[in-house]
Structure 1
Amino acid sequence: MEDRQVRFDRRKAMAATAAMVAGAAGIGASAALAAPASRRFPKGFRWGASTAGYQIEGNNVNADLWLMEHVKPQTFAEFSGDADDSYHRWREDIAVMKAIGLNSYRFSIEWSRIEPTRGQFSQAEIDYYRRFAEALREAGIEPVMTFYHVAAPRWFAEAGGWLNPDSPDLFANYCDRAARQLASIIGVACTINEPQVGLTYRTMPQSQAYFGKLDEAQEAAHREAARVTGSARFVTMNHPDIKGMTPQLMAAHEKSVQAIKAARGDLPTGVTLNLVDFQPANEGAKHQELRKAAYGDWLEVAKRSGDFVGVQTYRQVRIPGEGAKLPDLPDMPYVDRAHLEEMIKQPQALRNTVEYVHQQTGKPIFVTENGLETPDDRSAPGTFRRSCLSFTMRWMRAYPLWATCTGR
């Protein structure tokens, strides 16, 4: 689940730049989607939902994003405030999960709560997350824990965030402390959520035209945050310098895997990646090059470090080439074919990215995020359901899979 409170919303940025590419590719529509075959899921198949702590818990005042909400220029559309108050209402959340038949739940523990000051760890907060995980177990729901989902402690951002050469060790130390007390109760561990999402966005054709003003605003907001805190630089995951952060993020993933596995060697541990399904719109399209540029290096990291890869796919973007035009995309239920931002939400994108990631890494694939973003609930019975079911029914026997087919 992404940080949807950011005014320059990363999902909207993806949709906007992808729509420009789709327009250049001449996306149309043709045959309707075929309904998935009627099959039963195997025993033990994981059906779950994913959330991010900062978005749902509320009042995470020690987080870097909390400060960023209150500086100018504002890059957030609204304050997070109480959010869903899931921090206090988690028993209700678990009851809802159980009622709708989920058997897995991916959630994040919040670094800024557990280590509010550098080197000072809160036993009370660790105990809180342990009680939550135990309550999930009691309800028959497997806890899937993400150690870092966008929000970091304010002190970490004041020290330069992921641009700080020490950041991998700081993160691994936090993972070590948390895992020693939490690893025994959870079923799956995810290290960092979408560490390459900024790279993916900026790889897309025509994206620089879109990101120019957005990056300027983010840089200004981060400078103001540094001034307010009296730090040399204040860096969050929304900072435009994703290329500068990437080496530290990669090292942090690898070191955190070691820390978590040291606490419990048999605990499945991996990274969750944002993956756009780049496909050719014309013969000769360089979509393979875009895949490598957007997430190829991270797939190499995931191949050598971790037990699985978490796939998070929402879009298919067709890349123009110089050759003959390829067949149009199929019709999307309840979507006007002229609405390019909606047409790129193709359900087959999930199958394509899972297949590609497994081919590149040889690792088991967990679908840690997938769904349909729409204000129109009529879309759910069509596009959304087919997105989840057509993929899982076809591939569930090929790869170990954990599906989170929930709209966000």
Structure 2
Amino acid sequence: MMTGDEKGFNRRMVLATGAMGAASLLTAGGPLSAAASAATGGKHLVFPKGFRWGASTAGHQVEGNNVNSDLWFMENIQPQTFTERSGDACDSYHRMEEDVALLKQLGLNAYRFSIEWSRIEPSRGHFSLAEIDHYRRFIDMLRKAGIDPVVTFYHVSAPRWFAEAGGWLNPESPELFANYCDKAARALSSGMAYACTINEPQVGLTYRTFASGGEYFKKQDEIQARAHAAAAKLTSSERFVTMNHPDIVGMTPQLIKAHEKAYAAIKAARSNLPTGVTLNLVDFEPGNEGSPYQALREKAYGEWLACAKRAGDFVGVQTYRQIQIPGPGAKLPAQPAMPYVDAGHMEEMIKQPTALRNMVEYVHEQTGKPIFVTENGLETEDDRRRAWYIPQVLTHLHEAIEKGVPVIGYMHWSLMDNFEWLAGFKMKFGLASVDHQSFKRTPKPSSAVLARIARANAI
């Protein structure tokens, strides 16, 4: 997943920036089932047999102390681009049992997480058998609990040595990544249910496609350029490149090749393992008649959707926002009102529950591939909004399924409040909160909404 800012950009754009007890709400009836009934108009919507219900996280955001990674290094230099350091994060590295227990409590049958490249290959060409065994134990633990492991091989953070070698601007980077994927897949793929190669490789491109993002990125790019130059000087590197580096355009050819080579490597290790790439997809919709929103979609997503079409068994769709694109004609209806949101608060109004359905349909239309919703959620400290949002977004997702779109499953971002990149721990996406002194996970009331739906496989 981006941190978002005061203007309401998606949390991954820069990234690269209760009174009720949850347990009692897991039973039938009550306000949560009423909310679901309101979302569906009283209908009983059943999802396909075998539908995967889950939650997502990323290693650097929850494991803690990812000290060999490029982002850990960037968190500790000046000029500072991170609000705070990841530190212990949620200590998931040492609390695998607690995370599996939380997934079980919520009735989820799938969990998307990342294996950390910087742990598995801490220096170039050196692979840690101990770290591979750590992830093998976690995969086995999930399997024994009846939870499908959905594994991301690269979720934003890379080894520090990789950044020192030029990161994704290095022409050798696709081969370096494929070599890591080969080693990891041969060791771990037997227990995986699904594999994701790269998380949101085009996130830095999405918001640069329309004019209003220009001024914002000009400022951010200047800060990131200075920080990356400082990192290069400190490491005596020609250049130090992370996914937050301003030159996302220059990185893209290598990232596309990296996905294709990683896909081939993973399939060579286990040919029947469904593998795909996950993409950040903002739902661009017309705000006026004559809006160029379709051309904007093509500009933002066309290259990567073509890549996913030729190299992938599914496409991971990750959608949080809906932005109306102006045009020369008459104004079209405004986005519908939502509870707990001021209609004049545009940063919140763009979090429309119809956005996911629209992008699921669009990506399937463009690629012909099955769709896996690998991320969707809501950053808010008002958990009532999340409790309302979940049945709403899933009702609309069901509409896409009824139209014939093959949807593998729905993964909510995130299992728990975690380290949200440049924004630190401020943003709250989790189905559970985390006490950063005791690391206790506490399910929020909204988690009971998803739990009821997951257990019933229906709304």
TM-score by length of 1: 0.92
Overall identity of the aligned pairs, in %: 65
AA aligned to 1:11 is N
Superposed displacement of residue 44, structure 1: 1.2
2:201 equivalent among 177, 192, 195: 195
Partner of 1:170: 176
SS at the partner of 2:190? coil
Q: Is the 8 A contact 1:5 1:78 kept in 2?
A: no
CA distance in 2: counterparts of 1:369 and 1:322, whole angstroms: 34
Q: Alignment partner of 1:323: what SS?
A: coil
8 Å CA contact retained: 2:4, 2:12: no
Q: Quick check: 1:161–1:167 contact (8 Å CA) kept in 2? A: yes
Residues 5 and 77, structure 1, Cα contact 8 Å, conserved in 2: no
Aligned: 1:403 with 2:410: yes
Residue pairs, 1:196-215, within 5 angstroms? 196-215=202-221
How far apart, CA to CA, are the structure 1 residues paired with 2:149 and 2:11? 30
Residues 350 and 13 of structure 1, relative CA distance in 2, 3 Å threshold: closer
Question: Secondary structure in 2 aligned to 1:206?
Answer: helix
**Match runs of 1:206-355 below 5 Å:** 206-355=212-361
**Deviation of the 1:203 alpha carbon:** 1.0
- CA shift, 1:289, in A, is 1.0
Gap change, CA 1:274 and 1:83, over 3 Å in 2: same
Change (3 A) 1:8 1:114: farther
Correspondence 1:1-400 to 2 at 5 A: 2=1, 4=3, 11-12=10-11, 35-36=39-40, 37-392=43-398, 394-395=400-401, 398-400=405-407
What letter is aligned with 2:10? R
Partner Cα separation in structure 2 for residue 6 and residue 314 of structure 1: 14
**Superposition deviation, residue 14 in structure 1:** 5.0
Hey, what's the Cα distance between the residues in 1 that align with 2:146 and 2:375? Answer: 21
Deviation per CA, 1:160-210: give whole Å up to 9, x if none.
000000000000000000000111110000000000000002113310111
* Conservation of the 8 A alpha-carbon contact between 2:195 and 2:274: yes
C-alpha displacement of 1:113: 0.3
Stretches of structure 1 lacking an aligned partner (at least 5 in a row): 16-32
- CA drift at 1:393: 5.6
Aligned pairs, number: 390
Structure 2: how far apart are the matches of 1:54 and 1:100?
23
- Secondary structure in 1 aligned to 2:373? strand
Q: Would the aligned equivalents of 1:39 and 1:393 in 2 still touch at CA under 8 Å?
A: no
What's the C-alpha RMSD, in Å, of the aligned pairs?
Answer: 2.0
Q: Would you say the 8 A contact 2:3–2:13 is kept in 1?
A: no
In structure 2, the CA distance between the partners of 1:374 and 1:6, relative to structure 1 (3 Å rule), is: closer
Compare relative contact order (CA 8 Å, sep 6+) and give the higher one, 1 or 2.
Answer: 2
Distance 1:7 1:69 in 2: 21
Give the distance between the partners of 1:7 and 1:317, measured in 2 at CA.
15
- Confirm or deny: 8 A CA contact 1:7 1:75 kept in the other structure: no
Change (3 A) 1:160 1:249: same
Alpha-carbon distance, 1:42 to partner: 3.1
Summarize the Cα distance change of 1:49–1:158 in structure 2 as closer, same or farther, 3 Å threshold.
Answer: same
**Residue 35 of structure 1: how far off its partner (Å):** 2.1
Following the alignment from structure 1 to structure 2, what is the Cα–Cα distance between the partners of residues 291 and 192?
A: 20
Amino acid at match of 1:232: E
Look up the SS of the partner of 1:165 in the other structure: coil
Deviation at 1:109, TM superposition (A): 0.2
